[in-house]
């Protein structure tokens, strides 16, 4: 009986292998075959069969080639697949685990079908999980046991910081106000909440997940993933939950940060040599000023403070806002509400990707889970845009603008993709087509991946109204032009305020408050450090966003924090602090470059990309590979340091 069961299992495995390899991208199949066999000559043998064949991956917010695509040589593909099946059936344990720099270059350039710079290769090796700390300091000393690093927040950034700093030998402690890890993905539970970055890309490089159920993970699944990472790397014992950060001050005598928190209604104080702020930049839900909101008798929900106990089934709901969370909420509520009215001040660009709502294909999932290194090479292909771009879609090309009046060829390609998709979806509804058509440059506010939102707007029980919420009555809202919309439930999908640490009392040297320095505009060196605040590191700080996904940003910034702290250990330093001049020079460079972007020349667009002063405080103006290089190790000439005291 046992033999019969084993035969069934073997047959099922063999059948799944055949069907999965048949559907597997032959480029990735060849790379997996190199790992399985250790035979590097396979690349030169079969590589020419793929010359000029488009590769998979790339940003979901970029235009894809529309011309007829060349197919690889069929005989070569068949030979690769047959060999891969034979090797998997014979012994699925790979001979080659980690290609060295030279072989990685050959494999990566085949995977992406382009030559790669040294920086792109270094970034790619890290992204694929084949290297850690490329370009960093070679440690010769172990951090002393009393080198305490306090990490504020146990969301994605805090978890990455905890894992990396613990691996580097530092004595870490994490404080988190919630009862579990996840940050944004712990707090946000609204209907249809999801990540709008592909799951293979939004994984962490050192904890890649081959078993995502969807191409774009739902919020709950991503939170469970982060929980699993924290457990795998055993950092739960270093996390103090239900501990709310309220502020910190620099103790110049002890050369430590004194950190104030609240636990169970009581103040609890921590001390640490270094502090890492891992709270993200969108942490405070933005509430519109609405007259008479307290008069409204129905339930009022906010996307950032969703109450799962409130039943909205059968309700006549108004959803205020048309950003990413509104699109997800409106789509999630349409099936349960009696009617949904979406109130928009301004439309957004919507990008198509049919996989946004789809489960991962079973054959693809089997390949990811069972064929060695399929996950890593698919991930690298998704990183191709970040690795190879020399400009961003927001950067204005002066020659292109003079010739066409547009932004750039890259920007225009993405804009046309979005507008073409809009026109196709609303071909029979010209009234809606005009309502959802943006009149500002692409990427001057955040574009959105269509999660079913356009189909939701086409429903008979959904209305799209352009206007601005002014006030509430008991059973209706009133717009600024006096129009009245009856409803018995109100959802404020109005996003978050871009306020860096505005609610915290953070004081550096000479008792100077961070918020006073940041009045009127937040600023930082490399988006991470501020003069007068030694050993104080900010993740997702001013002008460090939009060049990559948040996971990529987190890993790159945590690498830099680690390098700064390693330098302190190597040189026996008590403090490391960016100088006023270095910070000023960096920000002068930023603002000069930002002037030539559509974030500054944004037309009618509004949104959180711009500060209330008109300055751009969120975005880094260059491509991600530039920021990656900038964070390889600290430039010591930009810092003032203090040596450790003797004894």
Distance between the two ends of the chain, CA-based, in angstroms?
A: 72
Question: Do 487 and 504 belong together in one domain?
Answer: no
pLDDT at 56: 87
For residue 394, is it within any domain?
no
Strand blocks (E) in 211-286: 239-240, 243-251, 256-263, 266-272, 274-277, 284-285
pLDDT at 286: 82
pLDDT at 281: 77
For residue 40, is it within any domain?
yes
Q: What percent of the chain has pLDDT over 70?
A: 97
pLDDT at 9: 47
The domain boundary, picked from 494, 526, 551, lies at 494
CB atoms within 10 A of CB 118: 12
Question: Do 454 and 578 belong together in one domain?
Answer: no
For residue 305, is it within any domain?
yes
Question: Do 307 and 338 belong together in one domain?
Answer: yes
Question: Do 297 and 432 belong together in one domain?
Answer: yes
Q: Say if CB 501 and CB 542 are below 8 A apart.
A: no
Question: Do 159 and 62 belong together in one domain?
Answer: no
For residue 646, is it within any domain?
no
| CATH number, position 339 | 3.50.50.60
Which residues span the domain enclosing 118? 10-131+364-387
Q: What is the pLDDT of residues 590-604, one digit of tens each?
A: 999 999 999 998 888
Question: Do 343 and 369 belong together in one domain?
Answer: no
Predicted model pTM: 0.95
For residue 418, is it within any domain?
yes
> Alpha-carbon distance 411 to 343, whole Å?
28
Question: Do 339 and 467 belong together in one domain?
Answer: yes
Question: Do 14 and 51 belong together in one domain?
Answer: yes
- Please spell the DSSP secondary structure of 486-549, one letter per residue: E-SEEEE---EE--TTTTSEEE-GGG-BHHHHTSS----BTTTB-TT-TTEEETT-TT-BSSS-
Question: Do 177 and 46 belong together in one domain?
Answer: no
pLDDT at 378: 96
> Alpha-carbon distance 578 to 316, whole Å?
54
- Residue 182's DSSP bridge partners are none
For residue 392, is it within any domain?
no
Question: Do 525 and 468 belong together in one domain?
Answer: no
> Alpha-carbon distance 156 to 324, whole Å?
20
Largest CA distance in the chain: 79
For residue 111, is it within any domain?
yes
- pLDDT < 50 stretches in the chain: 1-2, 4-9
Domain count, the chain: 3
User: Residue 471 is inside which H or E element, if any?
Assistant: strand 469-472
The domain boundary, picked from 438, 468, 494, lies at 494
The domain boundary, picked from 440, 469, 494, lies at 494
Question: Do 157 and 108 belong together in one domain?
Answer: no
pLDDT at 615: 87
pLDDT at 614: 82
Question: Do 413 and 308 belong together in one domain?
Answer: yes
For residue 524, is it within any domain?
yes
> Alpha-carbon distance 635 to 639, whole Å?
7
Secondary structure percentages of the chain, helix, strand, coil, to 5: 40, 20, 45
């Amino acid at each position: 009986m046992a033999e019969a069961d084993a035969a069934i299992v073997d047959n099922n495995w063999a059948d799944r292998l055949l069907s999965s390899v048949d559907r597997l991208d032959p480029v990735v199949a060849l790379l997996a075959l190199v790992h399985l066999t250790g035979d590097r000559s396979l690349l030169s043998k079969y590589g020419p069969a793929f010359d000029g064949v488009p590769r998979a991956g790339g940003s979901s917010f970029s235009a894809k080639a529309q011309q007829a695509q060349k197919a690889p040589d069929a005989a070569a593909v068949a030979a690769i697949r047959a060999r891969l099946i034979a090797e998997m059936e014979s012994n699925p344990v790979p001979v080659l685990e980690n290609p060295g720099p030279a072989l990685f270059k050959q494999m990566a350039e085949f995977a992406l079908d382009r030559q790669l710079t040294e920086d792109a290769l270094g970034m790619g090796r890290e992204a694929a999980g084949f290297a850690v700390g490329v370009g960093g300091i070679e440690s010769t000393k172990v951090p002393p046991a009393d080198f305490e690093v306090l990490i504020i927040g146990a969301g994605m950034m805090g978890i990455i910081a905890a894992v990396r700093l613990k691996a580097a030998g530092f004595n870490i402690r994490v404080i988190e106000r919630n009862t579990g890890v996840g940050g944004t993905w712990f707090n946000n539970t609204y209907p249809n909440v999801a990540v709008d970055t592909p799951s293979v890309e939004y994984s962490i490089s050192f904890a890649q997940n081959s078993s995502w159920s969807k191409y774009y993970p739902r919020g709950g699944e991503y939170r469970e993933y982060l929980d699993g990472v924290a457990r795998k790397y055993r950092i739960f014992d270093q996390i103090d939950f239900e501990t709310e950060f309220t502020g910190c001050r620099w103790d110049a005598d002890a050369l430590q940060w004194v950190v104030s928190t609240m636990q169970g209604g009581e103040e609890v104080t921590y001390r640490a040599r270094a502090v890492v702020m891992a709270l993200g930049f969108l942490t405070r839900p933005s509430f519109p000023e609405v007259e008479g909101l307290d008069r409204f008798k129905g339930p009022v929900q906010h996307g950032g403070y969703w109450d799962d106990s409130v039943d909205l089934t059968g309700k006549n709901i108004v959803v205020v806002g048309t950003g990413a969370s509104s699109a997800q909420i409106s789509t999630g509520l349409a099936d349960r509400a009696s009617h949904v009215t979406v109130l928009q001040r301004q439309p957004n660009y919507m990008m198509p990707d049919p996989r946004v709502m789809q489960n991962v294909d079973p054959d693809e999932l089997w390949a990811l889970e069972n064929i060695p290194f399929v996950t890593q090479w698919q991930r690298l292909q998704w990183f191709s845009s970040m690795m190879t771009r020399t400009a961003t879609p927001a950067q204005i090309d002066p020659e292109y603008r003079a010739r066409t009046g547009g932004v750039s060829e890259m920007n225009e390609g993405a804009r046309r993709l979005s507008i073409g998709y809009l026109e196709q979806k609303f071909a029979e509804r010209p009234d809606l087509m005009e309502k959802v058509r943006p009149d500002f440059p692409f990427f001057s506010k955040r574009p959105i991946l269509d999660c079913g939102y356009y189909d939701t707007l086409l429903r008979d029980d959904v209305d799209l109204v352009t206007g601005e919420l002014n006030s509430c009555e008991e059973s209706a809202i009133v717009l600024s032009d006096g129009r009245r919309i009856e409803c018995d439930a109100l959802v404020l999908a109005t996003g978050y305020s871009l306020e860096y640490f505005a609610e915290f009392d953070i004081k550096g040297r000479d008792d100077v408050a961070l918020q006073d320095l940041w009045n009127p505009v937040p600023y930082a060196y490399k988006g991470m450090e501020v003069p007068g605040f030694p050993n104080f590191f900010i993740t997702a700080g001013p002008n460090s966003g939009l060049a990559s996904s948040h996971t990529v940003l987190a890993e790159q910034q945590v690498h830099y924090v680690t390098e700064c702290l390693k330098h302190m250990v190597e040189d026996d330093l008590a403090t490391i602090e960016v100088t006023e001049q270095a910070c000023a020079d960096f920000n002068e460079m930023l603002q000069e470059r930002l002037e030539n972007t559509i974030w500054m020349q944004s037309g009618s667009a509004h949104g959180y990309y711009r500060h209330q002063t008109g300055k751009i405080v969120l975005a880094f103006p260059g491509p991600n590979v530039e920021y990656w290089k900038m964070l390889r190790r600290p430039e010591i000439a930009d810092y003032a340091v203090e040596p450790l005291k003797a004894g």
